Structure 1
Amino acid sequence: MAEAIQISVRTLVEHVYRSGSIDSRFRSSSTLHDGTRIHQMIQKTYGESEQKEVYLRAEVKAGDLSYIIDGRCDGLLFRDDGVVIDEIKSYSQTSEQIQQGGYPVHWAQAKLYAFMYAKDNDLQKITVQLTYVHVDTLEKIYFQKRYHTPELEVFLEHVMKVYSPYANLLANHRRKRNESCKELSFPFESYREGQRKLAGGVYKSIFDKKNLFAKAPTGIGKTISTLFPSVKAIGEGHLDKVFYLTAKTITRTAAEEAFKKMRSCGLCMSTVTITAKDKVCFKEETNCQKDYCEFANGYYDRINDAILDILSNETGMTREIIEIYAKKHTVCPFEFSLDLAYSADSIICDYNYVFDPRVSLKRLLEDQKKSTALLVDEAHNLVDRGREMFSSSLNKDVFLQLKKEFKGVNKSLFDAASKLNAWFLALKKENPDKHEFTLDHLDNELLDSLIQFVEITEQALSIEASPTLLEAYFIVNNFLKINEFLDEHYVIYVEKVKNDLNVKLFCIDPSKLLHQMGKGYRAKIFFSATLSPLNFYQDLLGGQEDDYVLSIPSPFSSDQVDVYIHPLSTRYGDRERTKESIAAGIQSLIKKRPGNYLIFFPSYQYLLAVYEQFKQQNEETKTTIQAAGMTEPEREAFLDAFKPNQLETLLGFAVLGGIFSEGVDLIGDRLNGVVVIGVGLPQLCFERNLIRDHFNQLNKNGYDYAYVYPGMNKVLQAGGRLIRSEEDFGTIVLIDDRFLQRQYQQLLPSEWQMFTIGSL
Structure 2
Amino acid sequence: MGAPDFRIAVRELCAFTAKQGDLDLRFTPAPTALEGMDGHRKVAARRGEHFESEITLSARFEQLEVRGRADGFDAGRHRIEEIKTHKGRLDRQSAALRELHWAQARVYGWLMCVARGFEKIDVALVYFDIDSERETEFVESWTADALRGHFELQCGRFIAWARQEAAHREARDRALRSLAFAHREFRTGQRDLAEAVYRATTQGRVLLAQAPTGIGKTAGTIFPALKALPGRQIDKLFYLSAKTSGRQLALDALRDLREQGAASIRVLEMVAREKSCENPGSACHGDACPLARGFYDRLPEARADALAEPAQLLDQESVRSVALVHGICPYYLSQELARWVDVVVGDYNYFFDFGGLLLALTQANDWRVALLVDEAHNLMDRARGMFSAVLTPDALKQAMESPTAAAAPRVKKALAAVKKQWAALDTTQADDYAVHAVFPEALQGALAQCMQAVGEHFADHPDTVDAELHGFQMEVLQVLRLLESMGDHSLIDQQRRKPDAKTNASAKARTSARAPGSDISIRNLVPAPHLASRWEAVHAATLFSATLSPMHFHADLLGLPQNHVALEVASPFSADQLEVRVARHISTRYAHRGESTAQVVELIARQFGERPGNYLAFFSSYDYLQQVAEALGRRHPQIPHWLQSRRMAEVQQREFLARFTETSQGIGFAVLGGAFAEGIDLPGHRLIGAFLATLGLPQFNAVNEQIRQRMDTLFAGRGHDYTYLYPGLQKVVQAAGRVIRTPQDRGVVHLMDDRFARTEVRRLLPAWWELRGASR
Give the TM-score normalised by structure 2.
Answer: 0.87
Conservation of the 8 A alpha-carbon contact between 2:435 and 2:492: yes
Rounded to whole Å, the distance in 1 between the matches of 2:84 and 2:730 is: 52
Asked whether 1:336 is paired with 2:333, we answer: yes
Q: Distance in 1 between matches of 2:249 and 2:207?
A: 21
Q: Does 1:196 align with 2:191?
A: yes
SS in 1 for 2:681: coil
2:629 aligned to 611, 616, 628, which one? Answer: 611
Partner of 2:587: 569
Contact 1:399 1:418 in 2 (8 A): no
5+ long unaligned stretches in structure 2: 499-515
Give secondary structure in 1 for the equivalent of 2:536: coil
Identity level (%): 32
Number of the residue aligned with 1:30: 31
Identify the residue that residue 391 of structure 1 maps to in structure 2.
Answer: 388
**Aligned with residue 619 of structure 2, among 598, 601, 613:** 601
Structure 1 residues 561 and 53: CA distance shift in structure 2, 3 A: closer
Aligned to 2:597: 579
Q: Which of residues 645, 650, 671 in structure 2 aligns to 1:627?
A: 645
2:675 counterpart SS class = coil
| Distance (Å, rounded) in 2 between the aligned partners of 1:651 and 1:369 | 53
More displaced stretch, 14-23 vs 716-725:
14-23
**What stretches of structure 1 of length at least 5 have no aligned partner?**
none
Deviation at 1:76, TM superposition (A): 6.4
Distance 1:374 1:618, change over 3 A: same
Does residue 657 of the first structure (1) align with residue 673 of the second (2)? yes
What is the rounded CA distance, in whole Å, between the counterparts of 1:435 and 1:13 in structure 2?
Answer: 54
Amino acid in the other structure paired with 1:471: G
1:215–1:550 Cα contact (<8 Å) kept: yes
Which amino acid letter does the alignment assign opposite residue 416 of structure 2?
S
CA distance, structure 1, for counterparts of residue 76 and residue 480 of structure 2: 45
Q: Secondary structure at the match of 1:518?
A: helix
Q: 1:718: how far off?
A: 0.7
- Does residue 1:179 correspond to 2:185, yes or no? no
- Give the C-alpha shift of residue 126 in structure 1: 5.0
226-235 or 600-609, which deviates more? 600-609
Q: Which moved more, 1:583-592 or 1:46-55?
A: 46-55
Kept in 1, the 8 Å contact 2:101–2:125? The answer is no
Alpha-carbon contact 1:6-1:68 (below 8 Å) kept: yes
| 2:79–2:124 CA contact under 8 A, matched in 1 | no
Partner of 1:475: 475
- Look up the SS of the partner of 2:378 in the other structure: helix
Computed over aligned residues only, the root mean square deviation of the Cα atoms, in angstroms, reads 3.4
Output one character per residue of 1:539-575: Cα deviation in whole Å (capped at 9) or x when no partner: 2121343221111221211111122223322222333
The structural deviation recorded for 1:638 is 3.2
Change (3 A) 1:415 1:157: closer
Q: Which residue of 2 aligns with 1:676?
A: 692
> What per-residue deviation string (whole Å, max 9, x for no partner) do you get for residues 224-267 of structure 1?
22212211110322522222221111111111112112112112
CA deviations on 1:122-160 (whole Å, 9 max, x unpaired) are: 88x8577564758469585747476783x6666555434
Shift of the 326–221 alpha-carbon distance from structure 1 to 2, 3 Å rule, reads same
Q: Distance in 2 between matches of 1:37 and 1:494?
A: 30
Change (3 A) 1:34 1:527: closer
Residue pair 1:396, 1:424 contacting (<8 A) in 2 also: no
Question: Which residue of structure 1 aligns with residue 772 of structure 2?
Answer: 755
- Give the conservation status (yes or no) of the 8 Å contact 1:102–1:143: no
* Aligned-pair CA distance for 1:176: 1.6
Q: Does 1:10 align with 2:11?
A: yes
SS in 2 for 1:289: coil
Is it true that 1:255 corresponds to 2:250 in the alignment? yes
Match in the other structure for 1:374: 371
CA distance in 2 between partners of 1:512 and 1:32 (Å): 16
Bigger shift: 715-724 or 672-681? 672-681
Distance across 1 between alignment mates of 2:135 and 2:204? 50
Matching residue within 351, 354, 377 for 2:351: 354
Query: Is the CA contact 2:81–2:126 (under 8 Å) kept in the aligned structure 1?
Result: no
Whether the aligned pair in 2 keeps the contact of 1:668 and 1:727 (CA below 8 Å) is yes
Per-residue deviation, residues 454-509 of structure 1 (Å, max 9, x unmatched)? 22222222234343332222211111111122222222221111361122222222
SS class of match (1:237): coil
Contact 1:437 1:495 in 2 (8 A): yes
Match of 2:543 among 516, 523, 526: 526
Compared with structure 1, are the counterparts of its residues 633 and 316 closer, same or farther at alpha carbon in structure 2 (3 Å cutoff)?
farther
Query: Is it true that 1:325 corresponds to 2:322 in the alignment?
Result: yes
Once the two structures are superposed, what CA deviation does each residue of 1:180-224 show, in whole Å capped at 9, x if it has no partner? 111112222222222222122222222332222221111111112
Give the equivalent residue in structure 2 for 1:313: 309
Partners of 1:51 and 1:75 within 8 A in 2: yes
Are the equivalent residues in 2 in contact too, given 1:369–1:521 (CA < 8 A)? no
Residue 44 of structure 2 contacts residue 53 of structure 2 at CA under 8 Å; is this kept in 1?
yes
Paired residue type of 1:732: V
Say whether the 8 Å CA contact 2:693–2:753 is kept in structure 1. yes
Q: How does 1:6-405 map to 2 (within 5 A)?
A: 6-30=7-31, 56-61=57-62, 66-72=63-69, 93=89, 103-113=98-108, 115=110, 131=125, 133=127, 135=129, 140=136, 142=138, 144=140, 149=145, 156-267=151-262, 268-285=264-281, 287-314=283-310, 315-359=312-356, 361-367=358-364, 371-399=368-396, 402=399
Mean CA deviation greater in 396-405 or 169-178: 396-405
Structure 1 pair 706/403, CA: closer, same or farther in 2 (3 Å)? same
CA contact (8 A) 2:274 2:280 kept: no
Counterparts of 1:611 and 1:638, CA distance in 2: 15
CA distance in 1, matches of 2:566, 2:266: 30
Q: Secondary structure at the match of 2:182?
A: coil
Q: CA deviation at 1:28?
A: 1.0
Residue identity matched to 2:288: Y
Change (3 A) 1:440 1:192: same
- Comparing 43-52 with 106-115, which one deviates more in the overlay? 43-52
What SS is found at the alignment partner of 1:491? strand
Aligned to 1:732: 749
* Distance in structure 2 (CA, Å) of the matches to 1:47 and 1:288: 42
Instruction: Provide the residue aligned with 1:426 in structure 2.
Output: 424
Query: Structure 2 CA distance, aligned partners of 1:569 and 1:37?
Result: 57
Q: How many residues align?
A: 746
Amino acid in structure 2 at the alignment position of 1:459: E
**Aligned partners of 2:531, 2:117: CA distance in 1, in Å?**
50
- Superposed, 1:709-748 pairs within 5 Å as 709-748=726-765
Question: 1:146 and 1:422, CA in 2 relative to 1: closer, same or farther beyond 3 A?
Answer: closer
Residue identity in the other structure for 1:69: V
Report the alpha carbon displacement of residue 371 of structure 1 after superposing the two structures with TM.
Answer: 2.0
Asked if 2 retains the 8 angstrom alpha-carbon contact of 1:565 and 1:755, the reply is yes
Relative to structure 2, which stretch is displaced further, 450-459 or 360-369? 360-369
Measured after TM superposition, the shift of residue 396 of structure 1 is 4.4
State the alpha-carbon separation in 1 of the partners of residues 317 and 15 from structure 2. 28
Partner of 1:696: 712
Instruction: Answer yes or no: is the 8 Å Cα contact 1:558–1:751 preserved in 2.
Output: yes
- Contact kept, 8 Å, 1:246 with 1:378, in 2: the verdict is yes
1:643 matched to 2:661: yes
Give, in angstroms, the shift of residue 511 of structure 1.
2.2
Of residues 741-750 and 621-630 in structure 1, the stretch that sits farther from structure 2 once superposed is 621-630
Report 1:504-515 matches (<5 A). Answer: 504-515=521-532
Counterpart amino acid of residue 724 in structure 2: Y
Q: CA deviation at 1:49?
A: 7.5
**Structure 1 counterpart of 2:307, one-letter code:** L
Deviates more, 1:525-534 or 1:565-574: 565-574
Distance 2:71 2:736 in 1: 60
